[in-house]
């Protein structure tokens, strides 16, 4: 993808402004339940809290809730273009717990991290960016030879909300990793506790820098973290919540359709 000024401007004006509004106005404050889900998330991908003690973790697109705090005694570098705004406008913002904060887009290379990372984490981020190939290239440069890369993102097809400018599939995501000289070790579909981070289906790859002699292809079988029964139950619950929200909007007068009908009647 060739990044042009209009592409960056669109990302900055629409996607980033939307992210800021969401985190400031709608993002729930982390509590024990959220921390438990965060722990279960990393553990379902094969990580333990003490795995990265005294090691370097790079959190790409860290957001306001610093997921990588899961790793006890790790040296956390948070890469978040909205970091200053989050820390200024969100009283509970967890970025203050990072050892180093880089307030730049993930598309910009951080030279001081070259070859330093034991783990790079990129969770629910790549579909919100404007140049995923460059981000993967940067991540490849951050990892040392034995480092790991955790990439987890929602696959949701094309959206028109401006918040998700990148459309990804399981094939295109794997191809990008292979093209950027990664070897994929594990693949997971869905999350341990729900279908996705927001909408669509979550897909996760654990990878490392390709070593000499390793094949330039993806041979990993993707493992489902949710059973068909769990997915059916989740769909029913979501439909139920959707119906309840619609009824509430009608009763409180928030429904646009009801307002239009009342306006015509008047």
pLDDT tens for the chain, 266 residues long, are 445 567 787 788 788 888 999 999 999 999 999 999 999 999 999 999 999 999 999 999 999 999 999 999 999 999 999 999 999 999 999 999 999 999 999 999 999 999 999 999 999 999 989 899 999 999 999 999 999 999 999 998 655 566 677 788 999 999 999 999 999 999 999 999 999 998 889 999 999 999 999 999 999 999 999 999 999 998 787 676 656 666 766 677 665 665 566 566 55
The answer to whether 166 and 129 are in contact (CB under 8 A) is: yes
User: What is the pTM for the complete model shown?
Assistant: 0.87
For β-strands 182-189 and 222-224, DSSP reports them as parallel
Query: What residue ranges do the domains of the chain occupy?
Result: 5-225, 234-265
C-alpha R_g of the chain: 20
The tokens of 191 are what? 């999350």
The Cα–Cα gap between 225 and 149 comes to 19
Sign of CA dihedral 198, 241, 159, 172: positive
Q: Which CATH class is domain 5-225?
A: alpha beta
């Amino acid at each position: 993808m060739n990044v042009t000024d209009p592409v960056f401007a669109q990302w900055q004006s629409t996607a980033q402004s939307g992210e800021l509004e969401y985190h400031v106005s709608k993002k729930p404050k982390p509590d024990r339940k959220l921390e438990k889900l965060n722990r279960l998330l990393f553990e379902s991908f094969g990580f333990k809290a003490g795995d990265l003690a005294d090691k370097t973790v790079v959190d790409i697109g860290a957001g306001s809730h610093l997921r990588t705090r899961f790793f006890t005694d790790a040296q956390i570098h948070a890469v978040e273009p909205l970091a200053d705004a989050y820390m200024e406008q969100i009283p509970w913002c967890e970025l203050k717990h990072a050892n180093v904060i880089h307030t730049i887009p993930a598309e910009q290379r951080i030279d001081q991290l070259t070859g330093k990372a034991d783990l790079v984490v990129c969770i629910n981020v790549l579909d919100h960016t404007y140049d995923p190939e460059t981000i993967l290239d940067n991540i490849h440069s951050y990892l040392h030879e034995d480092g790991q890369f955790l990439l987890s993102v929602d696959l949701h097809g094309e959206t028109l909300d401006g918040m998700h400018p990148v459309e990804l599939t399981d094939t295109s995501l794997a191809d990008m990793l292979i093209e950027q000289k990664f070897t994929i070790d594990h693949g997971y579909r869905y999350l341990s506790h729900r279908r996705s981070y927001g909408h669509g289906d979550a897909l996760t790859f654990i990878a490392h820098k390709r070593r000499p002699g390793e094949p330039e292809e993806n041979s990993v079988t993707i493992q489902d973290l949710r059973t068909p029964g769990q997915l059916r139950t989740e769909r029913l619950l979501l439909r139920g919540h959707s119906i309840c929200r619609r009824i509430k909007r009608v009763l409180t007068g928030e429904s646009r359709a009801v307002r239009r009908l009342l306006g015509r009647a008047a």
